Structure formats: structure tokens, C-alpha cells
């Protein structure tokens, strides 16, 4: 894992800093338990992951929101928001797909370094899908203050059924983890860990990584063409990162949940972005996620055509 993290994310770490677990949610639960809700509060990106927000709130932490814009988390607002621990997914915010810029990453590191109680939890989700532009270094790789907990997963690289995630702790939190989790069991079968280690050592994971990026790039290009051909007059693409979905504004939509129900009645599933917002939801009232990761390439134009027909029927009612 140390070799993998250095090669792909530029992270220098020691094996003692890595905790292997079965999911990123499990990794988040461990990270949250290393802090004290009576002394520290969380700041969370908005929109953001509902599951991660629940993990934080279930452990009694106060949560403040920080908005996400086209260049990522609005880091300059951190000084105005009460809280000590920032959670964000800078490589690929869910649900917007926005990437936090290098400038804002440096501002986040500066903010965290100004107080002993401040830390950053970086969920490095979907970094592996970026292939047409240079990846921005992870916040952990830029951190010289030992303030960043880095969470990642290999499940999207391998298979959803092969669970494997990890967190990289700051050196100063290793002893705290060892004390709190003396009897920790990762819930990840040893044979899974051995197989993944062998894939890394023999270069098989690198090869698979390249093939996955190539396949995803083809799907992404197919989705772009299909939207332009079938949905051009009905939607506006807001965020189109390489990943698992596209975020669009659907023209003429005044009630996202009504439209969602209408489309579902026609066996078309879309997700309103407003469901992932906590504060300031107005900007995303007619924004939806169109997923394509589980489709074969030839199914993507068919799906976009079916969506276009359903949207016209909805708007003509």
C-alpha cells in the first residue's frame, strides 16, 4: 500500500500509518472516533455525502457546512466557520463532481496548521477516473504539518464485491489509534489482502488501472455525444468530470422530486442533487445526476433517448 500511495497519490507514509478496512464508511467511523465531540466540531462540504454526515452526527458532533463551488470547497470561508475538523472529497466531490483547486488545497493546509485542534479528513474518492488531465496532488501529499487523515478505496478499481478501503493516519494520531483500537479487526479477509498485495507487487493492479481508465474514458465520451444528440435542448451540463455520472440542469423543472417520481414510473432512475444539500439548496433545485457506470457503451445512447422522450412527455403535460 505504501508503494501504491506513493506512486499514484504522492503520499510518503510508513506502514504503521495505514489501516486497512472493508469500506470508506468504516474508515470514516474510525477517523471520527479519534476525536472528542465535546471539544471539537466538524465542518463538512455541502453538497456532500449523506452517509458520511450521518456517521459524524451519530457520534454526537456538531456539523457546520461549507459550500462547494466549481473550484471545490470555498476554503477562504474556513476562518468564519466554527469547527476544528474539515471533511471533504477534493478529487471528486459527490454529488457535484467538482475538484478542489491547488490554491484552495494549500489554503486548507494553512488553515489546519494554525491550531493544534484542527485536522482534515480527505476522502480521495474517484481520483482514479481522471485520465484526460493531470491529477492534482492529494492534500495528504502536500501536508507538512501532519494534519491530514487520508481515506481511499480500491473497491471501485477492483470490484464492488471485493471490499477494500484504507486510511492513512497522521503520525501524531498513530499512538491514539493504537490505544483506541488495540483489539481492532479489519473485517477484510486475509486472502483478499494477500491477493491485493500480490496484484500491487506484480504490477497487475497498474495494468488493470490503465484498462479501467481507458474503458471509462470511452464511456464518458459516449455519454457526452449521447447527451448532445438526444438531450441538447432539454438539459444543460453543469459538471461533466470523468467518473461515474454527469450533473445536469433539467430545463423547466420546478419540482425535482415530482420529476424524479415521473421518470421512475417510466423505469428511468435519476437522482436530484438537492437531496445531498444541507444549506443553500436553491442553486441545485433543478440539478440531477445521470449515472452511466453500470451501462454497456451501446446502452448509453438508448438511455439518453429514453430520458429525452420522458422529459418531453413531462413538460408537455
Q: What is the pLDDT along the chain (317 residues), one digit of tens a residue?
A: 999 899 889 999 999 999 999 899 999 999 999 999 999 999 999 999 999 999 999 999 999 999 999 999 999 999 999 999 999 999 889 899 899 999 999 999 999 999 999 999 999 987 766 655 566 889 999 999 999 999 999 887 777 677 889 999 999 999 999 999 988 777 788 888 898 899 989 999 888 888 888 888 888 899 999 999 999 999 999 876 666 789 999 999 989 999 999 999 999 999 999 999 987 567 788 999 999 888 889 999 999 999 999 999 999 98
The reply to whether 67 and 147 lie within a common domain is yes
Q: Based on the domain organization, do 167 and 237 belong to the same domain?
A: no
Domain boundary among 172, 202, 232: 202
pTM of the model: 0.92
* Other residues' Cβ atoms within 10 Å of the Cβ of residue 91: 26
Establish whether the linkage from the previous residue to 95 is cis, with ω within 30° of 0.
yes
Q: Give a yes or no: residue 207 inside a domain.
A: no
Query: Domain boundary residue among 177, 202, 227?
Result: 202
Contacts of 102 (CB under 8 A, 6+ apart): 136, 137
pLDDT score for 241: 65
Residues 238 and 131 in one domain: no
Q: In this structure, are 196 and 253 located in the same domain?
A: no
pLDDT at 130: 63
Same structural domain for residues 81 and 126? Answer: yes
**Which residues constitute the domain of residue 141?**
2-202
**Chain-centre distance for alpha carbon 296:** 23
pLDDT computed for residue 172 by the predictor: 97
* pLDDT at residue 161 in the model: 72
Predicted pLDDT at 134: 63
Please choose, from the candidates 174, 123, 170, 167, the residue with its C-alpha nearest in 3D space to the C-alpha of residue 143.
170
Amino acid at each position: 500500500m505504501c508503494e501504491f500511495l506513493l506512486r499514484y497519490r504522492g503520499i510518503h507514509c510508513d506502514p504503521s500509518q495505514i489501516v486497512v478496512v472493508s469500506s470508506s464508511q468504516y474508515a470514516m467511523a474510525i477517523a471520527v472516533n479519534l476525536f472528542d465531540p465535546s471539544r471539537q466540531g466538524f465542518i463538512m462540504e455541502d453538497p456532500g455525502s449523506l452517509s458520511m454526515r450521518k456517521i459524524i452526527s451519530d457520534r454526537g458532533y456538531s456539523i457546520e457546512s461549507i459550500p462547494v463551488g466549481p473550484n471545490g470547497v470555498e476554503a477562504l470561508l474556513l476562518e468564519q466557520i466554527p469547527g476544528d475538523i474539515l471533511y471533504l472529497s477534493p478529487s471528486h466531490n459527490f454529488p457535484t463532481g467538482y475538484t478542489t483547486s491547488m490554491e484552495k488545497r494549500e489554503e486548507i493546509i494553512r488553515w489546519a496548521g494554525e491550531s493544534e485542534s484542527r485536522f482534515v479528513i480527505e476522502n480521495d474518492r474517484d481520483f482514479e477516473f481522471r485520465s484526460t488531465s493531470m491529477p492534482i496532488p492529494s492534500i495528504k501529499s502536500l501536508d507538512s504539518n501532519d494534519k491530514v487523515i487520508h481515506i481511499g478505496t480500491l473497491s471501485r478499481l477492483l470490484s464492488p464485491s471485493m471490499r477494500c478501503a484504507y486510511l492513512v493516519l497522521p503520525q501524531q494520531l498513530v499512538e491514539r489509534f493504537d490505544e483506541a483500537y488495540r483489539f481492532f479487526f479489519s473485517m477484510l479477509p486475509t486472502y483478499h489482502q494477500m491477493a491485493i498485495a500480490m496484484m500491487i507487487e506484480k504490477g497487475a493492479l497498474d495494468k488493470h488501472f490503465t484498462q479501467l481508465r481507458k474503458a471509462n474514458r470511452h464511456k464518458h465520451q459516449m455519454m457526452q455525444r449521447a447527451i448532445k444528440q438526444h438531450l441538447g435542448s432539454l438539459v444543460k451540463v453543469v459538471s461533466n468530470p470523468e467518473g461515474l455520472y454527469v450533473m445536469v440542469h433539467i430545463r423547466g423543472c420546478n419540482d425535482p422530486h415530482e420529476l424524479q417520481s415521473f421518470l421512475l414510473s417510466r423505469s428511468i432512475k435519476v437522482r436530484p442533487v438537492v437531496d445531498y444539500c444541507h444549506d443553500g439548496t436553491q442553486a441545485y433545485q433543478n440539478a440531477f445526476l445521470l449515472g452511466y457506470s453500470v451501462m454497456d457503451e451501446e446502452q448509453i445512447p438508448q438511455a439518453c433517448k429514453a430520458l429525452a422522450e420522458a422529459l418531453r412527455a413531462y413538460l408537455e403535460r
